[in-house]
Amino acid sequence: MWLPGLLAALALASACTGSPVKGSTSPTATPSPTKRQVQQTIRLNGRLAFAYQQDDNIDIYILELPSGALSRLTSDPAADFSPAWSPDGKKIAFRSDRKGNDEVFVMNADGTGQRNLTKNPRSDYSPAWSPTGREIAFATTRQDPSNDVWLMDPDGRNPRPLVEQTGIDEYPTWSPDGSRLAFQCTLGTIMSNRVGDFEVCVVNADGTGLRRITDAPGISAAGGWSPDGSLIVFNSNRDQAPANFSSCGDIFVVQPDGAELRKVTDGSFLDCVSQWASDGHIFFSSDRRDPGGETDIWVMNPDGTDATLLTPFPGEKLEGVFFPAGD
State how far the Cα of 236 lies from the Cα of 11, in Å rounded to an integer: 10
Query: Residue 3 pLDDT > 50, yes or no?
Result: no
- Mean pLDDT of the 189-215 span: 89
Give the C-alpha separation, 256 to 228, whole Å.
Answer: 12
Residue 237 has pLDDT above 60, yes or no: yes
Calculate mean pLDDT across residues 121-138: 97
**In the 3-class helix/strand/coil scheme, how is the chain assigned residue by residue?**
CCCCCCHHHHCCHHHHCCCCCCCCCCCCCCCCCEECCCCCCCCCCEEEEEEEEECCEEEEEEEEECCCEEEECCCCCCCEEEEEECCCCCEEEEEECCCCCCEEEEEECCCCCCEECCCCCCCEEEEEECCCCCCEEEEECCCCCCCEEEEECCCCCCCEEEECCCCCEEEEEECCCCCEEEEEECCCCECCCCCECCEEEEEECCCCCCEECCCCCCCEEEEEECCCCCCEEEEECCCCCCCCCCCCEEEEEECCCCCCCEECCCCCCCEEEEEECCCCCEEEEECCCCCCCCCEEEEECCCCCCCEECCCCCCEEEEEEEEECCC
Q: How confident is the model at residue 162 (pLDDT cuts 50, 70, 90)?
A: very high
pLDDT for 26 equals: 32
User: How far is it, in rounded angstroms, from Cα 68 to Cα 189?
Assistant: 44
- The domains located in the chain, with CATH, are 7-23+34-324 (2.120.10.30)
> Taking Cα atoms as reference points, which of 320, 302, 213, 310 lies closest to residue 256?
213
pLDDT, one tens digit per residue, over 53-111 is 988 889 999 999 999 999 999 999 999 999 999 999 999 999 999 988 999 999 999 99
Comparing 30-34, 131-135, 158-162, 296-300, which segment has the lowest mean pLDDT?
30-34
φ/ψ of residue 13, rounded to 5:
-65, -30
At residue 6 the predicted structure's pLDDT band, cuts being 50, 70 and 90, is: very low
Quick: pLDDT tens for 273-322. 999 999 999 999 999 999 999 999 999 999 999 999 999 999 999 999 99
pLDDT at 245: 84
Dihedral angle of Cα 106, 168, 18, 153, to the nearest 10 degrees:
10
Q: Could you tell me which of 209, 215, 124, 141 has the C-alpha nearest to residue 175? A: 209
> Per mean pLDDT, which range of 17-21, 95-99, 229-233, 260-264 is the poorest?
17-21
Q: What is the pLDDT of residue 35?
A: 53
Task: For residue 123, give the nearest of 160, 95, 151 by alpha carbon.
Answer: 95
pLDDT given for residue 324 in this prediction: 97
Share the mean pLDDT of the chain.
87
Query: Which range has the worst mean pLDDT, 102-106, 188-192, 257-261, 270-274?
Result: 188-192
In whole angstroms, what is the distance from residue 63 CA to residue 107 CA? 17
